[in-house]
Amino acid sequence: MTVSMLNILQSAVGVPAVPMDQVVVATDLRWAGIILLLPLLSLLLCGLCAAMRVKSKLPAWCTVACLAGSFVLSVLLYVNYNPPGEVIPLLSWMNLSWGDGALNSFSANFALYIDSLSLLWIMFVTGLGTLIAYYASEYMEPDLGKGYARFFAGVSVFLFAMLALVLSDNLVMLYLGWEGVGFASYWLIGYYYTRPAAVAAAKKAFIVNRIGDLGLALAVYLIWTTFGTVQYDELMTVLESHSWRAEFEGWTISAIPFLLMLAAFGKSAQLPLYVWLPDAMEGPTPVSALIHAATMVTAGIYLVARTYPLFLLEPVSLHVVAWVGGLTALLAATIGMAQYDIKRIMAYSTVSQLGYMFLGLGVLTTYGAAYHVFTHAFFKAVLFLTCGAIMHGFAGQLDLRKLSGLRHMKGWRITSWTMLIGCLCLAGFPLTSGYFSKDAILAEAFVTQGPGFEILGWIAILTAGLTAYYTFRVWFRVCAGPVSYEPGDELHDDHGDHGHGDFHPHAPRFAINSVLVVIAVGALVAATPYFMSNKADANIAGGWVADMVHDSTARAGLPGLAESQHPHSEEVSHGAHEHPTLFGMDPHKAMYFVSGAVGLIGILLAAYLHLWKRKSADALRGWLLARGWIAWLPRAMERKWYVDELYHALVRAPLWILGHICYAFDRFIIDAVIVDGTARVPRLIARWLQPLQSGAVQSHAVVMIGGVGIIVLLLALCLRFEWLGVVL
Amino acid sequence: MLGWLLILLPLLTAVIIMASPARFSRLVAMLGSLATLGIAMVAAIDFDGWGTGRWGLESSITFLPELGVTLEIGADSVSMLLMLLTALLMPLAVLGSWTAVVDRTREYFGWLMVLASAMTGVFLARDLLLFYICFEFTLIPMFFLIAIYGSTNRAFASVKFFIYTFLGSLLALVGFLYVAWSLASHQGEWSFSIPDLVHFAQTGLTSSEQVWVLAALMAGFAVKIPLFPVHTWLPLAHTEAPTAGSVLLAGVLLKLGTYGLYRFALPMVPEAVVEFAPVLAILAIVGILYGALICWVQTDVKKLVAYSSVSHLGFCVLGLLALNPLGLQGSVLYMINHGLSTGALFFLIGMMYERYHTRDMNVIGGLASKMPIWSCFMVFFVLASVGLPGLNGFVSEFLCLIGTFAAGDTGAYPGVLGPWFAAFAAIGMILAAMYLLIMVGKVVFGSLREPAGVHAHDVLPADLNAREIVVLAPLAIGCVVLGIQPDFVMHAMEGSIAETLAMYPDLVPESMHAMGIKGVTP
């Protein structure tokens, strides 16, 4: 049955989305494995440092050196690889075969799959990883000799896992990276392990991610049982060689994208699994910047982009992706507006921006999603790192009501201005990188036809305005205005400060400042790929990132390609006949004006409420809270729409009660009543017979005579009826 | 001869221990178990059954020829692996109890050695009588280990452990004897050789006979595994047993049940297994989820790990019932991996208990700041147990689940389970992360909490000493090696697994095929 299924696959001819048959097994690129090994080496060195109780910054330098090596090799790999892709086998892992034929073997090995999508990812992961590790060498100073090596070991584990995730050539190795980054995240969120909040947040992150991992695991099983392989190149070959929708109506084809989606939503913090990400801010800030903003959380986007052909087979799944992404973007933005902790605001902003990326995937622009991942990595890293610098300098102060006018303070100018760059990009200020990448997604929401995609587009535009507002709310509050500050509660002894009056913030030094500048410049430069392209394909707009997507499995979501080259996407495709318009213009063009205007309105609103008339913000809040019919709104936004409470009431509490019920059932019913009760039966019988053993000779005699009598009687009966013989 | 030596050497060690002064007993035990490990490794290197279905270490002693009673040993790759696991855990168990046992050390180490002998015997037995004798004989040393060296409720725990598992095994004996009797009445002469019995039973028993035999075997093996709902002896026995007892109980004794399923139930009564696999699989899944939920509300660390065994062994059984190579590979790997990681967890808890005399998570916590090395190992083995990819637990869990998932219609080995079974079992992955990380969060992380009045042991240092690290390190290495390179073990087992599955592909009824991919119209 299955064999014949595969025959059909191979016989049918479809239009290839990616020329996968050109993917070659390359052994001459084996050195690419070093990209993966360097972080492991760094882990080993950090472990040694920890064991030898090294008190210097040695672990940081080991990590920075190894990651820089990985980055250089990644760039070399980009220069040397042959499009469309190469498979580089490294090491065997799990291989089984029990016969000939399609489904009679299973293999998942450590092998790399190099194509432009994975290259795009590893370049910014290793590049930002190196910079942030360097930043952390200064940031983590207070922990020198204590947790310093442990921190950098965690960063190394993370980099290894992230690279394994991105570079893997099969879904099982991807799963290794997938859980690996989750574990690294657990490690680093729980870095301050004596703080209960950090431990709880770490646990929460791991467990919520596990829910997503369940989806990934089931998707892997389903993909294997359906296609007989878990390797991308083989999978894509099978997919290309066949017009799937016509031949297959099986539930598996529909179920696979939904399971993958669950995994992606868990890792990339989308509704309803986003709750772990804001809590993850308990970790040291470089970790928040690296893992929870720039790299790890984009793994979900990567997964969907990588398996995009599977999503195209079930258009409904893309509709769901788009709607979940859009709604998450809006919801997280509303929460971000009402928070006071600047790091949490950035966390919600990350959730919101990830929502945009999923929206992009859902409305058939993998290009837009990938570009937004790329630009977001830079500007969000800057924003987090500036938050970290502030936190570091003001003894853990993150409350935007207690910080003001940083840009006027000596030593904080670089922080303020780089933060401004990050804010401008995030707000989508015209001609910044965020402006181009966000517009690519927003416009496509109006172009692509799908259920309510136009409403979704307007939601996304509204969210863009909210984003500009909450971003500049932070900047105007913290960096602009009159100088005033209060220290946080993490006064270290080495300050020699006692109380608030003596507190002197210590401004960031070279490592932090240089990294801030480099990444801020990167955030600005990230706009240029939009203009540079080395492909002469007139159909494709979008520059270098589009080129990168073009050679990968996510190719179907390129502008201009979707309707012409992909045969399966008719249900979600662009309207080929009547191109939709926005304000009488092509949506791509109109979006430049619309989103620019919306962003400016948001910034102006923030300027009014948080720079020019700071009192009015509180007045507005008070006015809202005083009115019964609307008071729920600010309250719900500040309490994060009660999603945590909802989880507690709907999932955690019932399961916890169920656990207690099971335990009680186990102890009192199964064990006490059934097991011990049964064990008591012989004793009861014995009690009942006990009087026979009274020790009195007379009764013994009576019993003996009675017993003998019964035996004789039985024997007589047996002989009489001869059935004893029959039985024997 | 090597095989007999493997069984008898621990026994001989026990005799020497009893004959020599108490202060030498741990040393003698260590030497004896190390020697056994050495011989086991020699035997493993010498063994030519890796990858094939061939048997090695074969040897037999004729005992009562007219009744077909011989004592026959031999090992195929799977029994060889489990024997190696036993041989590896023994020196560690001895080293782990180095300072923990103060009184009656001669008997303690003596019984440990006897236990080793019996466990090895189970895995090496190639005839039913030897198998059964060893299977039952494991109970006696374990009984004494719990009853003499256990915690407060040890008397009750030991008796319950003994009677519960003994009763189950008796029923299994009835099943075995029935098969042997059928063989005798069929062939005219008695034979207790396992291959003969298996070969006969596959075809010689009617369907209803197969069902009854399966029921009898399950009565014995399910208690041992333990499968829900006959698991309640386990948490009690674990919490009361001394550390080495718990390690061997979780590491090896529980595997006797799954090994029994693998060696007897699956090849002997395939028709019945196919018929009842869904029912048993549901019990296994209930065990996975139920055990995990119970773990969640535990406060005693050791009890938590004990219940986690109920949950974990559910995966192991599920893999067996998948009736395909993926599932079986996963299941046998699970036996080994669970032995390594859960064994190590019991060691770790023992080390903590030796220092603080408590296992209550409400009293003790935040040990990371006091015992960093211990905490590293704890987190490591918890991750292995949770099934973090790259460590051993993942490989086996993954294979068990993909085997179960694929056990619908997948070409060569159609099975009777399918996606839904795997999906429900996989929820256990989430729950495992929950209860184990909660445990780690309380015991390892957080601010330091120590029981009032009790401070660190006066003999032991605050953190682990070199001896304790030596106990844990081989297990940790094993976890990493089996996590990254399980391939060589998987290849080694292929032949044996093919043999066990020989009857299955043809047996699964056509109607079951529909459980796989639906709606595919070829």
Could you report the per-residue pLDDT of B474-514, keeping only the tens digit for each?
A: 999 999 999 999 988 998 898 889 888 888 877 765 544 44
CB A50 within 8 A of CB A153: yes
Is residue B290 helix, strand or coil?
helix
Whether residue B473 lies within 8 A of chain A, CB to CB, comes out as: no
- Exposed, middle or buried, A5 (CB in 10 Å: 0-12/13-18/19+)? buried
Q: Using CB atoms and an 8 Å cut-off, which of residues 641-660 of chain A contact chain B?
A: 655-656, 658-660
Give chain B positions within 8 Å (CB) of A176. Answer: 389-390, 394
CB A274 within 8 A of CB A349: no
Is residue A156 helix, strand or coil?
helix
Nearest chain A residue to B394 by CA: give it. A176
- Angle at A49 (CA atoms; ends A47, A52), nearest 5 degrees: 110
Q: Count CA within 13 A, CB hemisphere, residue A494.
A: 8
Q: How far is B454 from chain A (nearest CA, A)?
A: 22
Whether residue A121 lies within 8 A of chain B, CB to CB, comes out as: no
CB B375 within 8 A of CB B439: no
Binned at pLDDT 50, 70 and 90, residue B411 comes out as low
- How far is residue B279's CA from residue B11's CA, in Å, rounded to a whole number? 40
Q: Which two tokens stand for residue B18?
A: 């009893």
Can you tell me the mean pLDDT for A336-341?
88
Binned at pLDDT 50, 70 and 90, residue B454 comes out as low
- Angle at A662 (CA atoms; ends A658, A668), nearest 5 degrees: 140
Strand partners, A108: A94
A80 or A69, which is more confident: A69
Interface contact flag, A252 B399, Cβ < 8 Å: no
Q: Using CB atoms and an 8 Å cut-off, which of residues 151-170 of chain A contact chain B?
A: none
Q: Which two tokens stand for residue A640?
A: 């994060």
Signed CA dihedral, A670, A672, A673, A676: sign only:
positive
Whether A704 has a pLDDT exceeding 90, the answer reads no
Nearest chain A residue to B438 by CA: give it. A203
Helix axes of B77-96 and B325-356: crossing angle, nearest 10 degrees: 10
pLDDT in tens, A403-418: 888 888 888 888 999 9
Long-range pairs, A642-648, Cβ under 8 A, ≥24: A643/A272, A643/A274, A643/A275, A644/A275, A647/A275
DSSP state, A505? P
Whether residue B286 lies within 8 A of chain A, CB to CB, comes out as: no
Q: Which residues contact A28 (CB under 8 A, 6 or more apart)?
A: none
What is the ipTM score, two decimals?
Answer: 0.91
Whether residue A194 lies within 8 A of chain B, CB to CB, comes out as: yes
What's residue B508's pLDDT? 67
Most confident residue range from A250-259, A469-478, B188-197: A469-478
Whether residue A716 lies within 8 A of chain B, CB to CB, comes out as: no
pLDDT in tens, A510-560: 888 999 999 999 988 888 877 776 565 555 566 777 777 877 777 766 655
What's residue A241's pLDDT? 66
Whether B350 has a pLDDT exceeding 70, the answer reads yes
Give chain A positions within 8 Å (CB) of B405. Answer: 218, 221-222, 225
Q: How far is A336 from chain B (nearest CA, A)?
A: 29
pLDDT in tens, B85-118: 999 999 999 999 888 888 888 889 999 999 999 9
- How far is residue A700's CA from residue A714's CA, in Å, rounded to a whole number? 21
Q: Which residues contact B344 (CB under 8 A, 6 or more apart)?
A: B377, B381, B384, B472, B475, B476, B479
Q: Which residues contact B227 (CB under 8 A, 6 or more apart)?
A: B218, B257, B280, B283, B284, B287, B313, B314, B317
Most confident residue range from A135-139, A233-237, B354-358, B449-453: A135-139
Interface contact flag, A663 B399, Cβ < 8 Å: no
What's residue A215's pLDDT? 92
Nearest chain A residue to B293 by CA: give it. A659
Binned at pLDDT 50, 70 and 90, residue B305 comes out as very high
Whether B515 has a pLDDT exceeding 50, the answer reads no
Q: Using CB atoms and an 8 Å cut-off, which of residues 151-190 of chain B contact chain A?
A: 160, 163-164
Interface contact flag, B411 A101, Cβ < 8 Å: yes
Nearest chain A residue to B420 by CA: give it. A218
Domain boundaries, chain A: 362-630, 639-692, 702-728
Whether residue B401 lies within 8 A of chain A, CB to CB, comes out as: yes
Q: How far is A388 from chain B (nearest CA, A)?
A: 24
What's residue A219's pLDDT? 93
pLDDT in tens, B230-264: 888 899 899 999 999 999 999 999 999 999 999 99
Binned at pLDDT 50, 70 and 90, residue A562 comes out as very low
What's residue A558's pLDDT? 63
- How far is residue A587's CA from residue B428's CA, in Å, rounded to a whole number? 48
Interface contact flag, B446 A658, Cβ < 8 Å: no
Which of left, alpha, beta for B457 (phi over 0: left; psi -120 to 50: alpha)?
beta
Give chain A positions within 8 Å (CB) of B409. Answer: 1-2
* CA dihedral angle for residue A436, residue A438, residue A442, residue A447, rounded to 10 degrees: 50
Interface contact flag, B446 A199, Cβ < 8 Å: yes
Q: Using CB atoms and an 8 Å cut-off, which of residues 68-97 of chain A contact chain B?
A: 91-96
Q: Using CB atoms and an 8 Å cut-off, which of residues 198-257 of chain B contact chain A?
A: 229, 232-233
CB A19 within 8 A of CB A84: yes
Binned at pLDDT 50, 70 and 90, residue A8 comes out as very low
What's residue B66's pLDDT? 73
Indicate the average pLDDT of chain A. Answer: 82
Whether residue B350 lies within 8 A of chain A, CB to CB, comes out as: no
What's residue A579's pLDDT? 62
Residue B141 CA, chain-centre distance (Å), reads 17
pLDDT in tens, A419-471: 999 999 999 888 888 888 888 888 888 888 778 888 898 999 999 999 999 99
Residue B218 CA, chain-centre distance (Å), reads 16
- Exposed, middle or buried, A398 (CB in 10 Å: 0-12/13-18/19+)? buried
Pairing of strands A403-404, B69-75: unpaired
Name the residue among A1, A95, A252 with its Cβ closest to that of B487. A95
- How far is residue A314's CA from residue A292's CA, in Å, rounded to a whole number? 30
DSSP state, A90? E
Name the residue among A2, A207, A670 with its Cβ closest to that of B430. A207
B415 or B400, which is more confident: B400
What's residue A534's pLDDT? 58
Whether residue B294 lies within 8 A of chain A, CB to CB, comes out as: yes
What's residue B413's pLDDT? 65
> Which of the residue ranges A504-508, A604-608, B27-31 would you say has the lowest mean pLDDT?
A504-508
Is residue B255 helix, strand or coil?
helix
* CA dihedral angle for residue B390, residue B392, residue B394, residue B400, rounded to 10 degrees: 150
3-state SS, A399-452, equals ECCCEECHHHCCCCHHHHHHHHHHHHHHHCCCCCHHHHHHHHHHHHHHHECCCC
Q: Which residues contact B432 (CB under 8 A, 6 or more apart)?
A: B292, B308, B311, B312, B385, B386, B387
pLDDT in tens, A22-41: 667 777 788 888 999 999 99
What's residue B316's pLDDT? 94
Interface contact flag, A655 B409, Cβ < 8 Å: no
Q: Which two tokens stand for residue A548?
A: 């990168």
Nearest chain B residue to A663 by CA: give it. B294
Long-range pairs, A314-318, Cβ under 8 A, ≥24: A314/A253, A314/A254, A314/A256, A314/A257, A314/A258, A315/A450, A315/A569, A315/A571, A315/A572, A316/A254, A317/A254, A317/A257, A317/A258, A317/A261, A318/A257, A318/A361, A318/A362, A318/A363, A318/A364, A318/A450, A318/A572
Q: Count CA within 13 A, CB hemisphere, residue B233.
A: 30
Whether A654 has a pLDDT exceeding 80, the answer reads yes
What's residue A635's pLDDT? 82
Widest CA span in chain A: 118
Whether residue B367 lies within 8 A of chain A, CB to CB, comes out as: no
Binned at pLDDT 50, 70 and 90, residue B518 comes out as very low
Whether A726 has a pLDDT exceeding 60, the answer reads no
- Tokens 């790999």, located at residue: A77
Backbone angles phi, psi at A86, to 5 degrees: -135, 145
Q: Which two tokens stand for residue A124?
A: 């910014």
Give chain A positions within 8 Å (CB) of B412. Answer: 98-99, 101, 103-104
- How far is residue A417's CA from residue A521's CA, in Å, rounded to a whole number? 11
Whether residue A10 lies within 8 A of chain B, CB to CB, comes out as: no
Binned at pLDDT 50, 70 and 90, residue A98 comes out as confident
Whether A116 has a pLDDT exceeding 90, the answer reads no
- How far is residue B289's CA from residue B305's CA, in Å, rounded to a whole number? 14
Q: Which two tokens stand for residue A577?
A: 């006949």
Q: How far is A204 from chain B (nearest CA, A)?
A: 9
Tell me how crowded residue B34 is: count the other CB atoms within 10 A of its CB: 15
| DSSP for B442-508, written as a single string | HHTSSS-B--TT--S-SSS-SS--HHHHHHHHHHHHHHHHHHH-THHHHHHHHHHHHHHTTTHHHHS
- What are the b/e assignments for B387-420, b being 16+ CB within 10 Å? bbbbbbbbbbbbbbbbbbbbbbbbbbbbbbbbbe
Can you tell me the mean pLDDT for A710-726?
70
Radius of gyration of chain B from its Cα atoms, rounded to whole angstroms: 22
What's residue A646's pLDDT? 86
Indicate the average pLDDT of chain B. Answer: 87
Whether residue A175 lies within 8 A of chain B, CB to CB, comes out as: yes
- How far is residue A410's CA from residue A412's CA, in Å, rounded to a whole number? 6
Q: Which two tokens stand for residue B128?
A: 């039913």
- How far is residue A323's CA from residue A337's CA, in Å, rounded to a whole number? 21
What's residue A471's pLDDT? 92
Binned at pLDDT 50, 70 and 90, residue A247 comes out as low
Strand partners, A112: A88, A168
pTM of the prediction?
A: 0.89
Is residue A245 helix, strand or coil?
helix
What's residue A536's pLDDT? 54
Q: Which two tokens stand for residue B75?
A: 């090992």
What's residue A321's pLDDT? 92
- Angle at A497 (CA atoms; ends A494, A503), nearest 5 degrees: 115
Q: How far is B445 from chain A (nearest CA, A)?
A: 5
| DSSP for A673-685, written as a single string | IIIIHHHHHHHHH
